[in-house]
Structure 1
């Protein structure tokens, strides 16, 4: 989940690549080692809305690719659980563009996707930066406040429900401008985008996921994070109400080469609310 305003734009090139499971679309900018930027889930989300405000800084050092995951209204949908199709789309994308390995920045769901790729295809990921998302709720309620608001919207969309969720994403309500609300509301009307949202956050989907977790012999993904061998930077907003800051405690311990940075006075959208500090710390980590 993330966003930016149109005033933050940095010029980039739009691209698309044909894979065996449809067309993947992306934005591209900069020169240097490859850096993939993976977006989160949420209402009216896209990779461009997540990262357009950060692209200028990262493109000074890296060849940046903002990938649009299948099923969010931009790249071709492929069916299936959005998290799993997102992970496979990263592998397909890198193969199609002959990217042998890359650093990854993943926002929320994008961070989990990046971790999945690092666990299952370790040769593809040189470094991993996550923005919230990764790990289990230890002390905080599950579902979180943000997830419950997403569930309400998925079950019955309205502009008022969108505004409540957007305000839950940030520490400073001034970040939620009318422009941002209008943009998200318009994007959320796309049928494919809402289908993905319902598949992840609708009441039926959440109930099935909880039932499956209670009755499955498959361990949760976070219990296998020790398989992430690449250097990893976990970034978090101290005031995150979507993914509360107790969640990175286990990933910080399980991932062998992990470090954690928590930003004060910041909600779920670290790359927006703590933009300058996030870009500085992330750039230092990636160039280290």
Structure 2
């Protein structure tokens, strides 16, 4: 049994179901938001770095609804995740916090900073935010996720895991088995389908064509907090060209690119990520 998991796990009841999270450390609040994908969870994204950040911050690793940990709720996972962050902060009496968001978590943190600017002190987006400028909208990683929604096999899981990293050494049998154990959770599989399924992709394209409502990345100029964009140079899930628009339009944004690194910076460039993030947070 993972004793750290058992020691740090918590849950809070809200008016839209139970939210589960991990808590550690003391100091200013630091909210850690996970990405999407196969068998994903907040714990799996951040367990390796939680001890480091908890030395100086009161860390909260929130589990979004619909990924097999917190209670699922109906709706688009991006917006239900955003709502869950507000509910979570309200339930725990957190007026504002610094936010680290990986991929989907970065999009959620960015939308939180746009819609509730007083609640985000500093923002770190680990890949994933912004539009594709030079690469196709459906990246290599997203294409594999789409394949998984249609054929949820162990082989497609392994293809996706290998696409997430620059080095194949990261994709161990232990990682494969851990992800596969929860990959077919009904709520988690539904979340993947609603984000990466063929119908979901086609629906998003229709909505972009038929609505006058601007996409979130067209409102990034409204982010007032200092923002760090952290990107793997070799990211095949959310390619590096996505960073260009947020780097230019978020008023107080800076970009750090990690060489020889894929989508999971906090795993593949762990020490450098922690060092650069702490320096940014402590200015």
Assess same fold via TM > 0.5: yes
How much has 1:279 moved relative to structure 2?
0.1
The TM-score normalised by the length of structure 2 is 0.98
Q: Distance in 1 between matches of 2:70 and 2:139?
A: 29
Q: Distance in 1 between matches of 2:139 and 2:245?
A: 17
Structure 1 residues 244 and 7, CA, compared in 2 at 3 Å: closer, same or farther? farther
Identify the residue that residue 202 of structure 1 maps to in structure 2. 197
Contact 1:252 1:258 in 2 (8 A): yes
The aligned length equals 283
**Would you say 1:158 and 2:153 are equivalent positions?**
yes
Identify the residue that residue 162 of structure 2 maps to in structure 1. 167
Residue number among 17, 28, 31 corresponding to 2:26 in the alignment = 31
Alignment partner of 1:48: what SS?
A: helix
- For residues 16-72 of structure 1, the C-alpha deviation after alignment (integer angstroms, 9 at most, x for no partner) is 111110110000000000000000000010000000000011001100000000010
Q: Distance in 1 between matches of 2:241 and 2:141?
A: 15
Q: Greater helix percent: which structure?
A: 2
Q: Distance in 1 between matches of 2:107 and 2:210?
A: 22
Q: Which runs of 4+ in 1 moved over 6 A?
A: none
Q: Distance in 2 between matches of 1:8 and 1:240?
A: 32
Q: Distance in 2 between matches of 1:138 and 1:8?
A: 44
Alignment partner of 2:156: what SS?
A: helix
How much has 1:10 moved relative to structure 2?
7.6
How much has 1:8 moved relative to structure 2?
11
**Would you say 1:117 and 2:112 are equivalent positions?**
yes
Q: Distance in 1 between matches of 2:120 and 2:130?
A: 19
Q: Distance in 2 between matches of 1:174 and 1:7?
A: 22
Instruction: Structure 1: give runs of 5+ residues left out of the alignment.
Output: 1-5
- For residues 176-203 of structure 1, the C-alpha deviation after alignment (integer angstroms, 9 at most, x for no partner) is 0000000111111211110111111111
Residue number among 96, 99, 106 corresponding to 1:101 in the alignment = 96
Structure 1 residues 10 and 278, CA, compared in 2 at 3 Å: closer, same or farther? farther
Q: Distance in 1 between matches of 2:173 and 2:4?
A: 18
Q: Distance in 1 between matches of 2:78 and 2:225?
A: 21
Structure 1 residues 47 and 20, CA, compared in 2 at 3 Å: closer, same or farther? same
- For residues 193-218 of structure 1, the C-alpha deviation after alignment (integer angstroms, 9 at most, x for no partner) is 10111111111111111111122111
**Would you say 1:281 and 2:271 are equivalent positions?**
no
Identify the residue that residue 71 of structure 2 maps to in structure 1. 76
The TM-score normalised by the length of structure 1 is 0.96
**Would you say 1:241 and 2:249 are equivalent positions?**
no
Q: Distance in 2 between matches of 1:9 and 1:240?
A: 30
Structure 1 residues 241 and 90, CA, compared in 2 at 3 Å: closer, same or farther? same
**Would you say 1:268 and 2:255 are equivalent positions?**
no
Identify the residue that residue 3 of structure 1 maps to in structure 2. none
**Would you say 1:251 and 2:242 are equivalent positions?**
no
How much has 1:127 moved relative to structure 2?
0.3
Instruction: Structure 2: give runs of 5+ residues left out of the alignment.
Output: none
**Would you say 1:221 and 2:209 are equivalent positions?**
no
Q: Distance in 2 between matches of 1:217 and 1:94?
A: 31
How much has 1:12 moved relative to structure 2?
4.4
Alignment partner of 2:242: what SS?
A: coil
Q: Distance in 1 between matches of 2:132 and 2:107?
A: 14
